[in-house]
A and B are shown apart, each in its own frame.
Chain A
Amino acid sequence: MDKGLLAYLLIPLLSAVIIPFAAKNRPKLADILANVTLLAGLANLAWLALRPSIIRGEFADIPGDGLSLLLVAAIYLVAFCVTFFSAWFLDEHLPNRQAYYSLILVSVAAMCGVVTTTDFFTLYVFIEVLAVTSFALITTDESSGGIEGALKYFFLTFPASALIIVGIAVMMMSLGGLSFESLRIFMAADAPAGTVTFAAALMMLGFLIKAGVAPFHAWTPDAYQGAYAPVSAYLAGIVTKISGVYAIIKLATLLRFFDGRAQAVSEMVMFLGMFSIALGALAALKQTNFKRMLAFSSISQVGYIVLAAGLGTPLAIMGAVFHLLNHATFKTVLFLNSASVEKSAGTTDMDKLGGLEHSMPWTSWTSIVALLSTAGVPPLSGFWSKLLIILALWESGLKTYAVLALLFSIVTLAYFMMMQKKVFFGKKTAAAESSPEVSAPLLAPVVLMSALIVALGLLFPYFYTYVKMVAERIIL
């Protein structure tokens, strides 16, 4: 475990324990405590990584492998946006208000545990904590959709834990330990890797289920659609990415996919990645519910990350890490916007919506920024990550995958344009007539994230230096 980043785990935990006592009679205090904790973490992270001297030194002074720090920053950013949004979104009389903020902070702590750990079993422990907090978060508003989504999430992802545990048992048997380092040393040596590859394949399968990659995606749309509105942004933006996709990237780098020691696993992962890109994009074309369409789009975007992780070359890993981060920004914007639309117009059914651009201009424009970034339109940040992924595929001679990835990027643009047309453009419908723009505090997180999308795209050279440093450290 990375000692330098331990504070990012412990402070939210402490704060989560304090909230129920401190906010017993003053419910607003829960909002303030949660937001202050996360904001303080963000400020600290900015100081750690964005000082001019660090940027000039090409980020050589970043502690650890760099990836942990980047992901901790993403976790805090998304969690902060969601709690800030929730502070104004939550119903005044929600009975489980304190528990809601405590759960968010515990899950932030668990995610920090996931990204800073150096051991497979600890990774599993933190992922379970994360899953348990997610169920309760999904059911926050006690709607029947929420409880349904939570139950499906529960029963479709927990069998994956058994696969991971059996994988861990085999790995313990053949490595004598469970740290990432022992696997790295084993894969670098020239011993026959059959047993370890079997263990890794089992674990990889478990993590693929947890990440919601097709064909194991049955729970994803239900969980995202049924979840309480800000929670679906939190889940789609960061929780399922950390609990599944991060572990896949980590395993991919440890198994040294690029020198072909675990060829079969690598090919399986790449195929499933491509399959979920295609399935997510095609299913999204047919959806009539705003949130459900975003959920399928999320499956498709996770496919890009998994495809790149499966390829495993340094360039592809760079693309995967960068796309993971971009996914956190644009999906948070889109899901938070869907929450705003739900609050304002009372529905997320796209057939009933229309012409919202006049009454909700900010929501409309931030959605356009986010969806263009998702589809990979230059100069937004999503363009660069997709470019890296497609270049890496082309370089490795996988031209079919590269062309297909490019094609489905166009499909992404198509379904998002359709969504934008149905929800925001066109004639005003009855539901849209009486829907005013949401208040400024609800727009602030969305605008912040959109600004970040544009900034990451324009300042790509700086960011590239950072991601390159990360890829070098985690692969070599």
Chain B
Amino acid sequence: MTYHNLLFVLAAVFAVWAVMAKKLLTSAIMLASLSAAVSLIFFDFGAPWAGVFELSVCAGLITVLFIGAVSLIRAEEEKHPENRTRFYALPLAVAIFAIAAWFYLPAFFDELATGRQMAAGGGTIGLALWDLRRPDMLGQVLMLAAGVFVIKSVFPRRTENK
């Protein structure tokens, strides 16, 4: 219980840190830590499949992509640093939001929870994907095809220009 809430708090801390970090590289690493915290939460909920995917894809692949892009533009970013006051104000803003929300949101969410409808549960993840969410699989195929064509279109192979 405490461990569970602690993981959520940890995720929030990593999120704030990712926004506040001065170097983009630190931001990217904190984002990976956020992903790792989220995947620990998934494991804690008893959702190992989601946890594994989150850990390998979001904490792994996306971080690699981010770090690649960041290292490409880092020099330029550091030449023109942003105004940092707005980022230093973030902990304050989060604190104000957290205190203000404390009076309203938990009560509201408790009310939301009363409207719940229990499901049968059970089954395996493979069956759920295949039986209940088959159109989504088609969507995934389409998404991956779209991803390939996007990269092909944004970075075309130029033969005649060189």
- Which listed segment binds B: A133-141, A278-286, A347-355, A360-368? A133-141
Q: In the complex the two chains form, what is the Cα distance from A132 to B148 in whole Å? A: 11
Q: In the complex the two chains form, what is the Cα distance from A99 to B157 in whole Å? A: 11
Determine if B68 is an interface residue (Cβ-Cβ < 8 Å). no
B145 touching A17 by the CB < 8 A rule? yes
The one of B112, B143, B147, B158 in contact with A173, judged by C-beta atoms closer than 8 angstroms, is B112
Q: In the complex the two chains form, what is the Cα distance from A177 to B132 in whole Å? A: 10
A129 touching B158 by the CB < 8 A rule? no
B119 touching A126 by the CB < 8 A rule? no
Determine if A170 is an interface residue (Cβ-Cβ < 8 Å). yes
A133 touching B117 by the CB < 8 A rule? no
Given A122-B139, A129-B142, A133-B146: A173 and B153 interface contact (C-beta under 8 Å): no
- Minimum CB–CB distance from B62 to chain A (whole Å) comes to 15
Q: In the complex the two chains form, what is the Cα distance from A175 to B157 in whole Å? A: 49
0/1 string, B121-162, CB within 8 A of A gives 1: 000000000000111101111110111011011101111110
A103 touching B146 by the CB < 8 A rule? yes
Given A106-B145, A176-B117: A136 and B153 interface contact (C-beta under 8 Å): yes
Determine if B116 is an interface residue (Cβ-Cβ < 8 Å). yes
The one of A16, A93, A170, A198 in contact with B149, judged by C-beta atoms closer than 8 angstroms, is A16
The one of B138, B149, B156, B160 in contact with A9, judged by C-beta atoms closer than 8 angstroms, is B138
B116 touching A136 by the CB < 8 A rule? no
A99 touching B116 by the CB < 8 A rule? no
Q: In the complex the two chains form, what is the Cα distance from A450 to B142 in whole Å? A: 33
B146 touching A106 by the CB < 8 A rule? yes
Q: In the complex the two chains form, what is the Cα distance from A128 to B149 in whole Å? A: 15
Determine if A117 is an interface residue (Cβ-Cβ < 8 Å). yes
A174 touching B150 by the CB < 8 A rule? no
For window 156-197 of A, CB contacts with B under 8 Å fall at: 170, 173-177, 192, 194-196
Closest to A198 in B: B112
B154 touching A126 by the CB < 8 A rule? no
* A9 cross-chain contacts in B, Cβ below 8 A: 138
Closest to A6 in B: B138
B135 touching A96 by the CB < 8 A rule? no
- Minimum CB–CB distance from A226 to chain B (whole Å) comes to 15
* B146 cross-chain contacts in A, Cβ below 8 A: 103, 106-107, 110, 129, 132-133
* A140 cross-chain contacts in B, Cβ below 8 A: 153
Determine if B106 is an interface residue (Cβ-Cβ < 8 Å). no
Determine if B46 is an interface residue (Cβ-Cβ < 8 Å). no
Determine if B1 is an interface residue (Cβ-Cβ < 8 Å). no
Determine if A48 is an interface residue (Cβ-Cβ < 8 Å). no
The one of A102, A125, A175 in contact with B143, judged by C-beta atoms closer than 8 angstroms, is A125
B149 touching A136 by the CB < 8 A rule? yes
Given A175-B117, A176-B119: A132 and B153 interface contact (C-beta under 8 Å): no
Determine if B81 is an interface residue (Cβ-Cβ < 8 Å). no
Q: In the complex the two chains form, what is the Cα distance from A110 to B150 in whole Å? A: 14
* B156 cross-chain contacts in A, Cβ below 8 A: 95-96, 99
* B142 cross-chain contacts in A, Cβ below 8 A: 13, 106, 109-110, 113, 126, 129
For window 1-35 of A, CB contacts with B under 8 Å fall at: 1, 9, 13, 16-17, 20
Q: In the complex the two chains form, what is the Cα distance from A198 to B156 in whole Å? A: 45
Closest to B139 in A: A125
Given contacts A17-B145, A129-B143, A139-B153, 8 further A-B contacts (CB under 8 A): A1-B134, A106-B145, A113-B139, A121-B136, A125-B135, A173-B113, A173-B117, A192-B115
The 4 closest A-B pairs by CB, nearest first: A195-B115, A125-B139, A95-B156, A99-B153
| A–B Cβ pairs within 8 angstroms, 5 of them | A103-B149, A103-B153, A110-B142, A135-B150, A170-B112
